[in-house]
Structure 1
Amino acid sequence: MLNDDMVMDLTVDDQVPARTERPDSPEQLAEALQAAAAAAEKVVPIGGGRLLGLGNPPARFDVALSTRGLNRIVEFSPADLVVSVEAGVTLEELDAELSRAGMCLPLDPPAGPGHTVGGVLASAMSGPLALRFGRSREFVIGLRVALPDGRLVASGGRVVKNVSGYDMNKLHQGALGTLGVMVAASFKVFPRPLAELTLESQPEDPWAEAERALRLPQQPVALELDSAGGLLARFWGTQEGVARMHRELGWQETAAGRWESRGARGAGWAETVWAWLSVPRAQLRLVLDGLPAGARWLASPGLGVAHWLGALGLPELRSARTAAESTGGTLVLVAAPRSLKDEFDAWGAPPPNLDWMQRLRTAFDHQHTLSPGRFVV
């Protein structure tokens, strides 16, 4: 059990839980979840708390179920390129362990540090490194999940060759904990680069320059464009390889720490409103050009993703969502005042497979114990 001060830190859309549980093992978490379900309590799973504003306000919030007690690295096999960890391990803790063996897990969500493994997977939010490595779904190879009936179920495996259960791995990611609480995950990991280089530029035509960078023989592992026209590119490889891309691109070298400062919590990410835009890559510029004059955003041109930050109003958000959805994309609220969320759904137009999603939700959590109201279903 956490003290009252820590409970206040777990406020979700102005709602404070009646109590908070912090189990120390997957089994304890499953028992706590089963007990809450039996008592008809509504539970919000919480990891590092970095993305608690994502989604709609919970319909009820009785129990905050923290995963931070699940903080063990279960198994790490550098030879097999696999690591298995509990869901409350932070990305920083995991990176420290992997780095000792020359490995890394290329997850770099914004608004860090402090993201837990489970929280990142539940939100399915990725960062600029997705340009090279894809989103987390590409390298999660196994999950262990606690269900409201007290069961602990597993999918996938701890070896890269084993892809059984892969669909279940995908389903839990991005479901915001509504299908179960992830208690452990296994990942494919990657060798750290022999050399790394970060370059920046402030060109006259940043979109054309971004495309030039994306067409290089050795594409950047990450590329960002900000609303002021600044470009930041990250290259991994051999010393000779990254030096060659530096010469071809001709941008100025800058500190690798620029990536952490741009994506850090408090460096704009705690604004009144944070909207997450995801559209077809070819449509990203058109959608961003349609935002109000002076809009502040940070985009990944190679991914079709942008984060729009500021004191955003209802008319501007509605207009931007209409534009995004007209391209087949989405605008999702990651953070906003409760008053705005009461008028503007966090997720937007219902997906075409909504009926299937509702049936799936009922199959896993028929009482809607987990995060009721927060997700699409």
Structure 2
Amino acid sequence: MGTSTIETVVPKDQIKQNEADHPLGNSGRQEIEAHSEDDISNVLRYANEHEKTVNIISGGTKRGYGGTMKEADILLSLAGYKGVVEHSVGDLTLTVRPGTTLKEISDRLAEHGQCLALDPSWPELATIGGIISANESGPRRLLYGSARDLVIGTRIVYADGRVIRTGGKVVKNVAGYDMNKLFIGAMGTLGIISEITLKLRPLPKYEGLSLLHFPDDREQEIHDFAKRILDSMMEPVSLEVLTPPTAEKLTGKRQYTLAIAFEDQEKAVSQQEKWVADNLPSGVEQTILHEQNASEWWDAFRRQSPNGHNDGTDDTITQAALKIGSLPSDVPGNLKKAEELAETHHVSVEGHGGAGHGISRIYINGLSEDIIAYIKALRSEAEKKQGYAVCTHLPYALRAAADVWGEKPAYFSLLDGIKRTNDPKKLLNRQRFVGGI
């Protein structure tokens, strides 16, 4: 195959010259649409033999996440490789192709009274392959975990075109080392996920949302109240703290707000909401939403972030997003610091964070140079508390200056070794992940 061309590998109608420069980068000189696992395998085998770099895209919501190489030789699109492979209703498992959007999965499962307990942003655009590759999650991570906790097995196409299976198709699969963990969150740098098996949950019988509006400068009180809930017998699905600008957009009240979600039988939800009402700190208001109203509120919540499709055309305003990892107890303080630094760096920010899981999201608008300075300042504050800050959305031109991933982690040599083993020519999503992997 040494003298072959890409036209001998996939049909011509799946190959096109790519668009002009994309502001988020992560492009390719040729875009190839994969319609099957064989397509993925054949393209990677060709790329490996001809030493062609390959970027991977599906829904495009992560296009601004990582990557300091503007374009590869090939942009391999998985957007058309979608659909359910197998849904075992009785076993509560689903096997699905990577280009399937989260909304498509949710709609299919709802017909059977089931759900996938993942709630990242923009579910109608975000595909399951991208969600798994970035280990994305949302507020429900508090009770149900992240993408990493819900994957039972995968099929992976290595950089040389070989296909392997990791894990299995049943929840109780425990044989051997769990290789799934290698590929979840690796940003497509170790192999391409061609099939994913996930564990499901029954749809909740009843859904409630309590919004607690705290007067100014009471972030310690928010932490204390969240801790009381976590230490109690209750089982909140989320304990999400909203900054005042975010709360104003979603609730109409410009105050720090704690969003507490409960999912259970209606009586159990009501009892937990009553406990919250009976134990409210003085001066704190409670707004309660149920069922459709609660669901619609969360739909609006999931449409806040830049998504790879909604960057504005105004060159003077840049959109960026940060993910901050910290101790859950540091979340209210981190959000407060994010607001304070926004004033001194002349950017506007909105944000929210999990008071029970420690992941915060900051969405930033402003001038490019101000955003870079802001990111560095906020990262420094996070690192002082042994946390981290990662840029999850930033135009290509700024990503190197912002140092998207921050300092290399202590385990970087292990990651680097795995990359060299799986992809020795560094062809897959080159420079997309931590440390330039």
Asked if Structure 1 and Structure 2 have the same fold, meaning a TM-score greater than 0.5 normalized by the shorter chain, the answer is yes
Question: 60, 64, 88: which one pairs with 1:49?
Answer: 60
Question: 339, 342, 357: which one pairs with 2:400?
Answer: 342
In the alignment, does 2:261 pair up with 1:234? yes
In the alignment, does 2:259 pair up with 1:243? no
Q: Closer, same or farther in 2 for the Cα pair 1:338/1:28, shift >3 Å?
A: closer
8 Å Cα contact 1:216/1:245 also seen in 2: no
Task: Tell me the alpha carbon deviations over residues 170-218 of structure 1, each in whole angstroms, 9 at most, x when there is no partner.
Answer: 1101100000000101011111111111221212334444334434422
Task: Tell me the alpha carbon deviations over residues 233-268 of structure 1, each in whole angstroms, 9 at most, x when there is no partner.
Answer: 211000100011121112322322111111115689
8 Å Cα contact 2:142/2:239 also seen in 1: yes
Matching residue's letter, 1:65: L
8 Å Cα contact 1:41/1:63 also seen in 2: yes
Task: Tell me the alpha carbon deviations over residues 130-153 of structure 1, each in whole angstroms, 9 at most, x when there is no partner.
Answer: 000011111211010111211111
8 Å Cα contact 1:141/1:166 also seen in 2: no
In the alignment, does 2:198 pair up with 1:191? no
1:335 Cα deviation from its structure 2 partner: 1.1
Q: Closer, same or farther in 2 for the Cα pair 1:301/1:332, shift >3 Å?
A: same
Matching residue's letter, 2:269: V
8 Å Cα contact 1:225/1:232 also seen in 2: yes
In the alignment, does 2:299 pair up with 1:260? yes
Distance, in Å, in 1 between the alignment partners of 2:332 and 2:125 is 31
Distance, in Å, in 2 between the alignment partners of 1:13 and 1:142 is 31
Describe the SS at the equivalent of 2:87. Answer: strand
Matching residue's letter, 1:280: L
Between 128-137 and 268-277, the greater mean CA deviation after superposition: 268-277
Distance, in Å, in 2 between the alignment partners of 1:55 and 1:125 is 14
In the alignment, does 2:388 pair up with 1:353? no
Question: 171, 175, 182: which one pairs with 1:164?
Answer: 175
Distance, in Å, in 2 between the alignment partners of 1:237 and 1:9 is 50
Question: 201, 211, 214: which one pairs with 1:203?
Answer: 214
Distance, in Å, in 1 between the alignment partners of 2:205 and 2:393 is 37
Task: Tell me the alpha carbon deviations over residues 100-150 of structure 1, each in whole angstroms, 9 at most, x when there is no partner.
Answer: 111110111124431111100101121111000011111211010111211
Question: 124, 127, 141: which one pairs with 1:116?
Answer: 127
Matching residue's letter, 2:417: R
Between 36-45 and 7-16, the greater mean CA deviation after superposition: 7-16
Distance, in Å, in 2 between the alignment partners of 1:52 and 1:165 is 34
Query: Where do 5+ consecutive residues of structure 1 fail to align?
Result: none
Q: Closer, same or farther in 2 for the Cα pair 1:12/1:73, shift >3 Å?
A: farther
Distance, in Å, in 2 between the alignment partners of 1:366 and 1:56 is 18
1:22 Cα deviation from its structure 2 partner: 1.2
Describe the SS at the equivalent of 1:218. Answer: coil
Distance, in Å, in 1 between the alignment partners of 2:357 and 2:153 is 25
8 Å Cα contact 1:11/1:17 also seen in 2: no
8 Å Cα contact 1:111/1:263 also seen in 2: yes
Distance, in Å, in 1 between the alignment partners of 2:426 and 2:378 is 31
Between 118-127 and 216-225, the greater mean CA deviation after superposition: 216-225
Max radius of gyration: which structure? 2
Question: 58, 69, 72: which one pairs with 2:83?
Answer: 72
Matching residue's letter, 2:300: S
Q: Percent identity?
A: 27
TM-score normalised by the chain length of structure 2: 0.81
Aligned to 1:141: 152
Aligned to 2:239: 223
1:157 Cα deviation from its structure 2 partner: 0.5
Q: Closer, same or farther in 2 for the Cα pair 1:3/1:199, shift >3 Å?
A: farther
Distance, in Å, in 1 between the alignment partners of 2:352 and 2:328 is 14
Query: Where do 5+ consecutive residues of structure 2 fail to align?
Result: 1-12, 245-255, 278-285, 312-317, 344-348
Matching residue's letter, 1:309: Y
Aligned to 2:336: 289
8 Å Cα contact 1:112/1:265 also seen in 2: no
Describe the SS at the equivalent of 1:232. Answer: strand
Describe the SS at the equivalent of 2:72. Answer: coil
Q: Closer, same or farther in 2 for the Cα pair 1:111/1:8, shift >3 Å?
A: farther
Describe the SS at the equivalent of 1:17. Answer: strand
Matching residue's letter, 2:104: E
Between 342-351 and 260-269, the greater mean CA deviation after superposition: 260-269
Aligned to 2:356: 302
1:9 Cα deviation from its structure 2 partner: 9.4
Q: Closer, same or farther in 2 for the Cα pair 1:95/1:111, shift >3 Å?
A: closer
